[in-house]
């Protein structure tokens, strides 16, 4: 051991001098044998730092409140490196929010690999924002040790719109204009014309077929005596008094005759008692042939309906004969056949239809 004023030196077995710490010194002096190891470590670290770089950037330096901020981390390295997504935490930055993290873009050219991590941010307060350095983890081929490449810090400003108190209220951004697709408009126009053409074709076809069909027969108003005669025939077929429904039979047959009087002689026969109805018939010359028959007919019906009279079968048959006589003797002369008989309902209908067609 050799002593000096700056401390003592000790000779190692291989003949190199090792400086020991002087008395009163709290530091430790490394030996000459550790220097080569430090140099190798420094050179190894510098080689990694030269082979991989990370850079952060934004598309602009000034934004309005609510604008999208495109923040990109670009990593460039040589082949053999495995790059992992950075732990980009926006929660630590209170003034901005993460809208979307896009899928990384990878490209390789001439032995160089580039990876771009893109983020869409947005801020809603007027302030200056600084995104600090972000650590990008990576591994080299054949080495499982995870290392980090650090980006630069990025600063930008978020501003609000200048408000003019005297100006009109308007949107932050003008409405977007939707460009017209003329091909699509033409296509829909052709479809609309095709539909209109089909509907018009069916309408005209239906109208043409309808025009070819025979016109429907007009409703023919039957004379009052034809209506009454048809009602009497229907009543005969029902055979009411033969089934024991005598009162209903007399009520129905008198109603048929009274309705006939209303339309034939224009009198309210349905509302009048028998005496008043006979009195009105006396004033009409056309009803003179049936006055006595009508009086007997209505009197018998009143006995059955109001006096609970039970007539004989011959009286019921006589009521039907009297009803036919009343109608046949009061048919207008124009409605009487050449042989003096009354036309049936079907014959009257045929004559009316022929007359309408001739007109």
Q: Are residues 354 and 229 in the same domain?
A: yes
DSSP-H helix ranges across 104-181: none
4-8, 120-124, 194-198, 216-220: range with lowest mean pLDDT: 4-8
Q: Are residues 236 and 314 in the same domain?
A: yes
What share of the chain has pLDDT > 90, as a percent?
28
Q: What is the mean pLDDT of residues 155-170?
A: 78
Which domain-ending residue is among 159, 187, 210? Answer: 159
For 316, the domain range is 224-358
Q: Are residues 269 and 152 in the same domain?
A: no
Q: Is the confidence at residue 178, as pLDDT, over 90?
A: no
- 26 domain-assigned: no
- 120 domain-assigned: yes
pLDDT in the model for residue 286: 87
Give DSSP secondary structure letters for 248-266.
HHHHHHHHHHHHHHHHHH-
CATH classification of the domain holding 130:
2.60.40
Q: Are residues 133 and 232 in the same domain?
A: no
Q: What is the mean pLDDT of residues 264-288?
A: 89
Which domain-ending residue is among 159, 181, 208? Answer: 159
Containing H/E element for 296? helix 291-306
Confidence of residue 168 (pLDDT cuts 50, 70, 90): confident
Which domain-ending residue is among 159, 179, 208? Answer: 159
pLDDT in the model for residue 123: 86
d(CA 111, CA 12): 49
Q: What is the mean pLDDT of residues 330-353?
A: 58
pLDDT in the model for residue 321: 93
Sequence-separated (6 or more) residues with CB below 8 Å from residue 55: 73, 74, 75, 76, 151, 152
Q: Are residues 259 and 353 in the same domain?
A: yes
Count: domains in the chain: 2
Q: Are residues 153 and 230 in the same domain?
A: no
């Amino acid at each position: 051991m050799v002593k000096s004023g700056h401390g003592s030196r000790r000779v190692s077995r291989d003949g190199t001098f090792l400086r020991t710490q002087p008395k009163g010194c709290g530091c430790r002096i490394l030996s000459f044998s550790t220097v080569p190891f430090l140099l190798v470590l420094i050179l190894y670290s510098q080689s990694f730092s030269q082979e991989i770089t990370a850079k952060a950037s934004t598309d602009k330096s000034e934004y309005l409140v609510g604008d999208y901020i495109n923040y990109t981390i670009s990593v460039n390295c040589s082949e053999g490196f495995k790059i992992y997504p950075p732990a980009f935490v926006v929660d630590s930055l209170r003034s901005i929010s993460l809208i979307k993290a896009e899928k990384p873009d990878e490209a390789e050219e001439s032995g160089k690999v580039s990876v771009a991590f893109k983020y869409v941010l947005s801020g809603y307060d007027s302030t200056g924002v600084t995104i600090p350095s972000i650590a990008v983890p990576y591994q080299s081929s054949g080495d499982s040790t995870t290392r980090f490449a650090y980006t630069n810090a990025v600063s930008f400003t978020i501003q609000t719109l200048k408000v003019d108190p005297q100006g009109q209220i308007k949107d932050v951004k003008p409405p977007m204009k939707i460009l017209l697709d003329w091909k699509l408009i033409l296509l829909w126009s052709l479809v609309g014309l095709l539909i209109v053409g089909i509907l018009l074709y069916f309408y005209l076809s239906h109208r043409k077929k309808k025009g070819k069909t025979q016109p429907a027969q007009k409703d023919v108003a039957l004379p009052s005596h034809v209506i009454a005669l048809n009602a009497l025939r229907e009543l005969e077929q029902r055979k009411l008094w033969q089934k024991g429904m005598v009162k209903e039979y007399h009520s129905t047959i008198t109603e048929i005759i009274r309705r006939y009087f209303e339309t034939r002689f224009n009198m309210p026969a349905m509302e009048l008692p028998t005496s008043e109805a006979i009195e009105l018939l006396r004033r009409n010359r056309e009803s003179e042939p049936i006055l006595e028959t009508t009086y007997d007919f209505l009197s018998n019906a009143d006995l059955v309906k109001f006096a609970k009279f039970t007539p004989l079968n011959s009286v019921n048959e006589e009521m039907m004969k009297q009803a036919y006589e009343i109608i046949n003797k009061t048919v207008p002369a124009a409605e009487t056949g050449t042989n003096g008989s009354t036309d049936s309902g079907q014959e009257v209908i045929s004559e009316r239809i022929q007359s309408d067609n001739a007109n």
